[in-house]
């Protein structure tokens, strides 16, 4: 296996960690810039404001449990 293939494989193995870090960073950067963000809290869509206050936007349907690698067909 070449060095380039090893590097690609290493990066692919760490995609979930990198994505998680990017999402957290975007969340905090948006709040720091004075914008609000949306998040799921229990079964509700909640708007979070930079001052820490929260506003419930609407209830959400229950989450669909999945397993890694599972494929879902959306009708």
Q: What is the torsion angle, in degrees rounded to the nearest 10, for the CA atoms of residue 20, residue 55, residue 74 and residue 23? A: -10
The answer to whether residue 70 sits within a structural domain is no
More confident residue, 64 or 59: 59
The answer to whether residue 75 sits within a structural domain is no
Domain range for 35: 3-59
* Residue 51: pLDDT over 90: yes
How far apart are alpha carbons 75 and 69 in whole angstroms? 19
Name the pTM for this structure. 0.69
Question: What pLDDT was estimated at residue 17?
Answer: 92
The answer to whether residue 74 sits within a structural domain is no
* Residue 50: pLDDT over 90: yes
Domain count, the chain: 1
The answer to whether residue 73 sits within a structural domain is no
Q: Which pLDDT tens digit goes with each residue over 7-34?
A: 899 989 999 999 999 999 999 999 999 9
């Amino acid at each position: 296996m070449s060095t380039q293939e090893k590097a690609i494989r290493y990066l692919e193995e760490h995609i979930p960690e990198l994505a998680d870090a990017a999402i957290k960073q975007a969340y905090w950067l948006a709040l720091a810039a004075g914008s609000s963000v949306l998040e799921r809290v229990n079964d509700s869509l909640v708007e979070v404001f930079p001052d820490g206050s929260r506003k419930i936007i609407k209830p959400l349907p229950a989450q669909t449990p999945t397993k890694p690698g599972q494929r879902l067909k959306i009708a």
